[in-house]
């Protein structure tokens, strides 16, 4: 305090010249400090407001994801637990072995920001490191009387529009405490309080850079000015006027440099320093603008393909439908076979396919109305006229997309399905149109024959019936409604039954006899494949004694197994325990696996095949020649039987190439000592043609239809 008084006395006693220098220095210090601090606080406030908006938008996006997963669980597409876990993975990341979740999503909440989900009791439903813990009594890091979790829950549940709060909390994986913003909404159906949180430092770190840059340049300016003013007071009036003008422009938000060409050397240095400060502030402002642009871009675009995402497309379509557009088609495109490409060629090839399809859509359609809707789905919005124009547009799309996929070399493994809704007949906004096409896609995506389908009202009834059927199917295994039917395999040389194949048939109390073509895809969709496989193996082996009595003596039993069940780590134990339980000789069991199994690593298949062979179980490749196997696979995997698919047999009377191919397969089987079986033989002409080969074990309606024991 005393030192300050002495400095004031020296200033008052100083000469007018020194006073002028001192006063000028003080004024410059105050002005530049005010400008710097004003810029800092304005930038900080703006960034914090932007951050709060980002948090609110992020929670809205999170609620959209959760509502979609909730609808999936309500419709029976997923269990509630699976839907909830899928929502957590989308919002935060997969659960690790140590109970933590990696922060791995496309929503930018800053370096230290992340999503949190509580329930009403304060349990951490989702958290990077505290998941599963009760945090009801958690308090502010700097205020032990403030219970932040209770406050957040009350805000979210008490306000339908959600609520913001600010508190102090440790940065993630750090002991450092920072001010944290959080915005929460309540999702009543699952009793979830969904919170997006981020630290203030994540949003206003650029403002700190402005402050530090300003303070540093202020010190430089003061040093230069105080050094020069003593000699050049008269020569600096004009530059000072310019500087003041630049400061006024800066206060008004304009970054205006000063012309120092008419200044002397020292004053020119001051002007250069000021211009550097202006340049730094302007560059920081541009960086902030670029960052905001990036955030906005990622919020409405797909980074991989460059197309809009569903949020971006929604904005565009909702704007378009408010104009004078009279008729349009909304098309949802599902790309099939992506999993196979990823498995056979690698994820880079799968991503390349997605990018190329994105470029195809951008080239052929208005970029504003093209979007990547999900991992393997795209959407386009096409303005059309009458019904003829509508049909022509859809046919043109199908032909062009099919030709494009084939031209890129994906035709063997890849195809597509189109789900179509018409505007305004089926919906007058994006939400309505997207809902209708999603419903259509759920009905046709696994169809082997339907490549495109326009929405119609009866599809809601079809979906309702499908859901009811799925609900019935979930109980069918427990109630024993699905039973094995058996189709004989005949050695035509002796006209004797040498083995039988167990085929699933469902007699539903509600729907009657349900075709396997209907309920088997539903089993896959409901993730009941492993349960179904175990059920069929147990049921067929339980009836083995009855099979032997019906067909006379010991007989081989074939059972179909899906690749996913075959590769399950518990599959070998299931087979060995079931054989032991029902006292069936292991050498009488043949497991039929489709060629899809070859999309997995050969080493895994070899190990499982070796273990099964060790106990005497035999393996057959079902539907051989229609999937993903190769001669290399046949050499490396020691299968016992090849089963020629019906599609080959259907052509042997009319297509000489098909018959020669069957003969070639017979030769391969003989070389590698495989038993060869053919299915789908339905006429004597087909049988007589096959007698020209060394194939003699026949399965088909010519000899036997599937029948219960």
Neighbours of 680 (CB within 10 A): 17
CB-neighbour burial class of residue 569 (10 A; exposed 0-12, middle 13-18, buried 19+) = exposed
**614 or 269: whose pLDDT is higher?**
614
How far apart CA 486 and CA 544 sit, in angstroms, is 11
Cα separations (Å) of 98 from 94, 112, 128, 404, 485? 11, 20, 11, 45, 47
Neighbours of 516 (CB within 10 A): 15
* Cα–Cα nearest to 327, from 423, 432, 427: 423
Choose the most confident range, by mean pLDDT, from 341-350, 459-468, 664-673.
664-673
Q: What is the pLDDT averaged over residues 303-312?
A: 89
How far apart CA 361 and CA 384 sit, in angstroms, is 17
Range list of H helices, 182-264: 200-232, 237-251
Contact status, residue 643 vs residue 624, Cβ threshold 8 Å: yes
Instruction: Check whether 290 has a pLDDT greater than 90.
Output: no
Instruction: Check whether 690 has a pLDDT greater than 80.
Output: yes
Contact status, residue 87 vs residue 95, Cβ threshold 8 Å: no
How far apart CA 267 and CA 261 sit, in angstroms, is 10
- Residues ≥6 apart with Cβ < 8 Å to 133: 123, 124, 127
| Digit-coded pLDDT (tens) for 44-70 | 566 566 767 778 888 888 888 889 989
Instruction: Check whether 558 has a pLDDT greater than 90.
Output: yes
Neighbours of 611 (CB within 10 A): 15
Place of tokens 């134990």: 573
Q: What is the pLDDT averaged over residues 371-386?
A: 89
How far apart CA 7 and CA 398 sit, in angstroms, is 86
Measure the CA dihedral 319/324/327/332, to 10°: -10
How far apart CA 170 and CA 182 sit, in angstroms, is 14
The mean pLDDT value of the chain amounts to 82
pLDDT of the residue at 273: 72
| Digit-coded pLDDT (tens) for 137-156 | 999 988 889 999 999 899 88
Q: What is the pLDDT averaged over residues 6-18?
A: 47
Neighbours of 388 (CB within 10 A): 9
Q: Which residues pair with 332 in a beta bridge?
A: 379, 419
Q: pLDDT band at 8, cuts 50/70/90? A: very low
DSSP H or E segment with residue 262: none
pLDDT of the residue at 332: 94
Q: What is the CA angle 490-496-499, rounded to 5?
A: 55
Among 7-11, 291-295, 408-412, 517-521, which is the least confidently predicted range? Answer: 7-11
Instruction: Check whether 229 has a pLDDT greater than 70.
Output: no
Token pair of 34, please?
A: 């005010």
Q: What is the DSSP string of 580-629?
A: HHHT--GGGEEEEEEGGGGGS-HHHHHHHHHHHHHTT-EEEEEEETSSS-
Contact status, residue 669 vs residue 690, Cβ threshold 8 Å: no
Phi then psi dihedrals of residue 628, to 5 deg: -120, 10
**What single-letter DSSP state applies at residue 384?**
-
Q: What is the pLDDT averaged over residues 307-334?
A: 86
Token pair of 499, please?
A: 């083995």
SS3 per-residue string spanning 398-423: HHHHHHHHHHCCCCCCCEEEEEEEEE
Q: What is the pLDDT averaged over residues 105-111?
A: 70
- Residues ≥6 apart with Cβ < 8 Å to 92: 101, 102, 103, 104, 105, 114, 115, 126, 128
DSSP H or E segment with residue 135: none
pLDDT of the residue at 13: 42
pLDDT of the residue at 387: 79
* Cα–Cα nearest to 587, from 561, 557, 562, 566: 557
How far apart CA 284 and CA 266 sit, in angstroms, is 27
Q: What is the pLDDT averaged over residues 103-124?
A: 82
Q: pLDDT band at 12, cuts 50/70/90? A: very low
SS3 per-residue string spanning 443-507: HHCCCCCCCEEECCCHHHHHHHHHHHHHHHHHHHHHHCCEEEEEEEEEECCCCEEEEEEEEEEEE
Q: pLDDT band at 451, cuts 50/70/90? A: confident
**367 or 68: whose pLDDT is higher?**
68
């Amino acid at each position: 305090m005393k030192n300050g008084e002495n400095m004031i006395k020296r200033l008052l006693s100083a000469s007018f010249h020194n006073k002028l220098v001192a006063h000028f220095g003080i004024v410059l210090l105050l002005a530049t400090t005010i400008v710097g601090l004003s810029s800092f606080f304005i930038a900080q406030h703006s960034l914090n407001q932007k951050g709060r908006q980002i948090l609110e938008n992020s929670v809205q996006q999170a609620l959209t994801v959760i509502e979609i997963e909730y609808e999936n669980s309500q419709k029976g597409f997923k269990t509630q637990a699976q839907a909830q876990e899928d929502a957590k993975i989308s919002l935060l990341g997969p659960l690790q072995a140590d109970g933590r979740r990696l922060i791995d999503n496309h929503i930018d909440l800053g370096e230290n920001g992340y999503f949190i989900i509580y329930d009403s009791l304060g349990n951490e439903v989702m958290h990077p490191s505290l998941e599963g813990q009760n945090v009801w009594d958690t308090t502010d890091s700097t205020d032990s009387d403030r219970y932040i979790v209770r406050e957040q829950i009350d805000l979210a549940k008490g306000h339908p529009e959600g609520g913001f709060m600010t508190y102090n909390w440790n940065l993630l994986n750090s002991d450092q405490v920072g001010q944290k913003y959080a915005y929460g909404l309540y999702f009543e159906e699952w009793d979830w309080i969904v919170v997006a949180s981020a630290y203030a430092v994540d949003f206003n770190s650029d403002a700190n850079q402005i402050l530090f840059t300003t303070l540093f340049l202020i010190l430089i300016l003061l040093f230069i000015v105080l050094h020069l003013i003593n000699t050049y007071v008269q020569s600096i009036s004009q530059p000072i006027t310019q500087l003041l003008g630049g400061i006024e422009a800066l206060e008004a938000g304009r970054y205006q440099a000063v012309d120092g060409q008419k200044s002397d050397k020292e004053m020119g240095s001051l002007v250069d320093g000021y211009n550097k400060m202006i340049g730094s502030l302007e560059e920081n402002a541009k960086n902030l603008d670029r960052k905001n642009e990036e955030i906005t871009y990622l919020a409405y675009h797909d980074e991989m393909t460059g197309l809009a995402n569903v949020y971006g497309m929604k904005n565009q379509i909702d704007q378009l439908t408010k104009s004078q557009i009279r008729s349009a088609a909304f098309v949802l495109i599902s790309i099939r076979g992506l999993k196979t490409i990823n498995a056979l060629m690698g994820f880079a090839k799968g991503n390349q396919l997605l990018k190329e399809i994105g470029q195809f859509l951008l080239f052929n359609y208005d970029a504003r109305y093209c979007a990547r809707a999900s991992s393997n789905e795209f959407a386009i919005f096409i303005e059309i006229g009458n019904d003829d124009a509508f049909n022509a547009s859809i046919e043109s799309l199908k032909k062009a997309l099919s030709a494009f996929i084939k031209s890129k070399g994906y035709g063997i493994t890849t195809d597509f399905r189109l789900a179509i809704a018409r505007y305004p007949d089926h919906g007058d906004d994006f939400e309505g149109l997207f809902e209708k096409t999603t419903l259509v896609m759920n009905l046709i995506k696994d169809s082997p024959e339907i490549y495109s389908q326009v929405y119609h009202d009866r599809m809601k009834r079809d979906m309702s019936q499908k859901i009811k059927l799925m609900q019935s199917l979930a109980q069918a295994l427990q109630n024993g409604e699905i039973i094995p039917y058996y189709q004989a395999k005949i050695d035509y040389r002796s006209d004797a039954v040498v083995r039988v194949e167990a085929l699933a048939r469902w007699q539903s109390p509600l729907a009657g006899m349900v075709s396997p073509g209907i309920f088997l895809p539903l089993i896959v969709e409901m993730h009941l494949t492993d349960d179904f496989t175990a059920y069929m193996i147990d049921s067929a082996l339980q009836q083995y004694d009855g099979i032997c009595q019906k067909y006379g003596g010991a007989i081989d039993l074939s059972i179909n197994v899906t690749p996913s069940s075959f590769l399950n780590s518990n599959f070998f134990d299931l087979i060995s325990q079931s054989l032991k339980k029902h006292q069936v000789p292991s050498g009488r069991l043949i497991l039929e696996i489709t060629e899809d199994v070859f999309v997995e690593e050969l080493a895994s298949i070899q190990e499982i095949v070796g273990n099964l062979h060790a106990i005497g179980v035999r393996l057959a490749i079902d539907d051989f020649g229609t999937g993903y196997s190769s001669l290399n696979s046949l050499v490396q995997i020691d299968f016992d039987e090849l089963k020629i698919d019906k599609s080959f047999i259907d052509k042997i009377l009319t297509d000489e190439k098909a018959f020669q191919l069957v003969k070639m397969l017979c030769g391969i089987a003989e070389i590698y000592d495989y038993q060869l079986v053919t299915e789908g033989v339905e006429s004597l002409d087909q049988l007589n043609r096959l007698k020209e080969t060394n194939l003699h074990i026949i399965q088909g309606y010519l000899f036997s239809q599937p029948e219960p024991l």
